[in-house]
Amino acid sequence: MSNHNHNTQLNKRGTLYSKHGCEPCKKAHVKCDESKPFCEKCIKANKICTYKGGFVNKIVNTRDNFIKKPPIKEQKYIRNIKNIDHNIDKNRSVVISVFPQSAFHKNSAQKFNQDKTTGAVHRIPSTSPSYNTHTHAGNVDQKKKKKSNIKIKQFTMYSNPIQLSSGSQNSIAPSNMNTQNNSPNTSPENNNIDLLVDIKGEKPINGLLFIPRSELYRLTLLNIDLEYFEKSFNLPEKFSFTVNDIIRLRGLAMDRNTEQIAFDDPFRELIESPNYDFNNITNNNLKILNENKFLAFCWKIFIANSMNGHMKFFPDDKYHKELKELWEIGKHFVSLHHIIIYIASVIIQNYYYNPKNLFNSIDKKIEDNHTMILKLKQQKLSPIWDRYVRLPSLKSCYNYLKSIENKQHTINDLIFLVVFGEISINSFKNGNQMGWKLHLKEMIRCLHIINKSKKQLEYFTVFENCKSWLNYLEATSFLLNYKGGAIEIMDYIPSNALISKVTDNNLSLYNKKFNLITGYVMDFDLIFHKLFQMSLNLKKDFNIIITGANICQLRLTNKNPIIESKLNDFGLNLMEDLKYLDNNINIEKVVEKVADIRRKTAIVYSHRACIIALNLYFRCFFLKKKKDNGDVGDEHKMVKRKMKKKSRSKAIIKLNNSYDVDDDADEGEIYEKLFKEFLFSWKFIPVSNSSNFRIHWTLVVVGNVCIMLGRFDVLEEVRNILRKFMNLMPFIVPRDIRELELLEESIKTGSFEKIENFEYGLPAF
């Protein structure tokens, strides 16, 4: 009897609080609402809400439907609070708390699991992908699919080419245009056939590749309501941001002061309302989306984020000019604003979702209770941005890209696709996600088709900047990545689509020579262009690849004299081009008007480091090794060394002398001189500025040469230079160092399997 009463008491006690409730509610024996990450009772009681063992997020991958995965433990993020261990998977978005599974959703997921279909739209195939495919991961039987009563609103797009003038209309009116028969890019009343681009022999652009593969899969599964989102954005006639605003945002971006930018979040009024119910949000509560301040805030986040990319090297006035151009293009393509809203939502959502960003300044002696509670409430904004902003904006972009998938493109289509691709590539930033090669490939094909159409679009600064940026990414991928870049899967060089032009509107060029995006003079683009072509010729004729560490493996294993002769011819050709570039460009004259002496010195020696790195690269991996002439020339070499003895300062001031080497000198002396000049150049390149990290490829290339020659003393100095950038580039530096370690290990063991399977990822900064 006593045992029965004891069990009854335990059962009654267990009903007072949830089995999966938070720790404070369990200790207080009160009912917990299990709201993640903080329940209402803890917020009202000013307690730190913790869940033992964390909570499981439902996530989506590309192989299965909703799956459960244990959360990833991270370090304690509040110094003055003990015994807290929030298990948060900060790399994935919370879906379970914001998307209740409807009957249609469950049927779709069940149907997908039964059929076990696999998606082919965004999967990277072993060969060139088919651009006419219509299969999507998670598609359901159309006969059984319920019809939605929601009318998807499209936007009228102008058929005339975009003109950057003040006469553009200030808003995009919604239209009920049938997207299957007419493109939202052209008006059905005025369809100018002259604007159609002749793409004979070219496959249509697959714009869906501009959407991350994981996100594309999720869009095909979730039933996203777009009725409240796809409305007319009342765009101001003029771009509202001034140069002073750009300067202010640049300062905040450089200081990584996202908290100051997030203070203008329009959704903050939700958490400031004392009685606001986060669990009962409807579309009527989100009138903020229709206000101009919401779009302005998203642009502010986008601008600040861009200043951490390749646009950070632009002067404020030039960057302001490019943003005005993007705004003008956005007047004709409302989806351009949608992708900017998407990028902004990803950034701000991750900011709210990561507790370190909210609690890094908490001090129990300073922070008051009100501020503590406010920061706890801020985390509830993360799922709001995810559900009501991020996914709907991406779904809207998906609908537009889908509508132009199989039609003959116009110039306006290609303009939008280039800009859309350049903006959406930010989703691959600082990551190793698959799909970035296909993304870059489609961007290159867009520029290629525009170039073939012979339409004079050079006045668009975005095109010239995009050319420089893509050329830089391809060059870096070719030199560092074992699997190469996008051109390796294209199997052809797209005419001059990646060659920058000297125009008045080319904002990326300083003094019409030095490229602010790449970090070297534009003449290097021609050398890399020729290197790409040589690589494709070798792949076509001999089925060999020379990208990344492949060239090291080839030099160690090749016994074919024809291939060796081909490499030598290519090397001599490239060395001549490099020598011509060095002799005909006075880099000091190019940057003579740079006011900052340190900046000027860094540019000069960066140029020097690029030339020496390519010299070592071509000499080590392409040219034939000189035969040993015995002791005949020893006395002659000793005399020449005495005659050439100069003070180090004079040798460095006259930069061209550092390239010239004595043809009669042995290879050891040549490499020794080039190594010394390279390391000496990096002494004048400040590692406190991330802009100097653009030429990090020179360090990896020289490191590869050191490994091949057994110069591990120089290799260690190269690694030390890379480590100095660790705080500025915490994602790319470990990747470069790891690649050098794998190459060193591969040469010692004779197996390149590890470096072959190493995913280098997008070489962006």
User: How many other C-beta atoms lie within 10 A of the C-beta of residue 155?
Assistant: 23
Q: Which of 370, 378, 356 is nearest to 78 (CA)?
A: 356
User: How many other C-beta atoms lie within 10 A of the C-beta of residue 6?
Assistant: 10
In the prediction, which pLDDT does 127 show? 35
List, for residues 201-256, the tens digit of each pLDDT value.
677 788 888 887 778 777 877 777 676 666 655 666 678 888 888 888 877 776 66
The pTM score is: 0.68
Query: HEC string of 108-127?
Result: HHHHHHHHCCCCCCCCCCCC
| Residue with more model confidence, 125 or 336 | 336
In the prediction, which pLDDT does 236 show? 65
What proportions of the chain, in percent to the nearest 5, are helix, strand and coil? 55, 0, 45
In the prediction, which pLDDT does 343 show? 86
In the prediction, which pLDDT does 283 show? 57
- 78, two tokens: 């509040």
In the prediction, which pLDDT does 176 show? 30
- Most confident range, picked from 29-43, 119-133, 359-373, 620-634: 29-43
List, for residues 325-348, the tens digit of each pLDDT value.
888 888 777 788 888 888 888 888
CA distance 156 to 404: 14
| Residue with more model confidence, 52 or 6 | 52
720 falls in which pLDDT band (50, 70, 90)?
Answer: very high
* Close Cβ partners of 98 (under 8 Å, ≥ 6 residues apart): 383, 384, 386, 387
In the prediction, which pLDDT does 18 show? 62
CA distance 270 to 280: 12
- 285, two tokens: 């509560």
Helix axes 696-709, 732-749, angle to 10 degrees: 10
Residue position matching structure tokens 């990414």: 473
Element (H, E) at 68: strand 67-69
- What average pLDDT does range 101-129 have in this prediction? 37
In the prediction, which pLDDT does 509 show? 80
- Most confident range, picked from 112-126, 555-569, 662-676: 555-569
- Is the per-residue pLDDT at 602 higher than 80? yes
- What average pLDDT does range 600-626 have in this prediction? 92
Give span(s): CATH 4.10.240, the chain: 2-69
CA distance 158 to 162: 8
- Is the per-residue pLDDT at 155 higher than 60? no
CA distance 351 to 732: 21
| Residue with more model confidence, 225 or 680 | 680
Q: How many degrees, rounded to 5, is the angle at CA 548 between CA 547 and CA 552? A: 95
| Residue with more model confidence, 584 or 465 | 584
In the prediction, which pLDDT does 204 show? 79
End-to-end CA distance of the chain: 72
| Residue with more model confidence, 187 or 349 | 349
- What average pLDDT does range 20-47 have in this prediction? 80
Element (H, E) at 366: none
- Is the per-residue pLDDT at 307 higher than 90? no
Q: Which CATH architecture has domain 2-69?
A: Irregular (4.10)
In the prediction, which pLDDT does 162 show? 39
List, for residues 551-600, the tens digit of each pLDDT value.
999 999 999 999 999 999 999 999 999 999 999 999 999 988 888 888 88
User: How many other C-beta atoms lie within 10 A of the C-beta of residue 583?
Assistant: 11
CA distance 680 to 655: 12
* Mean pLDDT, the chain, whole residue set: 70
- Strand pairing category for 67-69 and 57-59: antiparallel
List, for residues 311-323, the tens digit of each pLDDT value.
666 778 878 888 8
Rounded to whole angstroms, the maximal C-alpha distance in the chain is: 109
In the prediction, which pLDDT does 655 show? 41
List, for residues 639-663, the tens digit of each pLDDT value.
334 334 433 333 333 344 445 555 5
- Is the per-residue pLDDT at 119 higher than 50? no
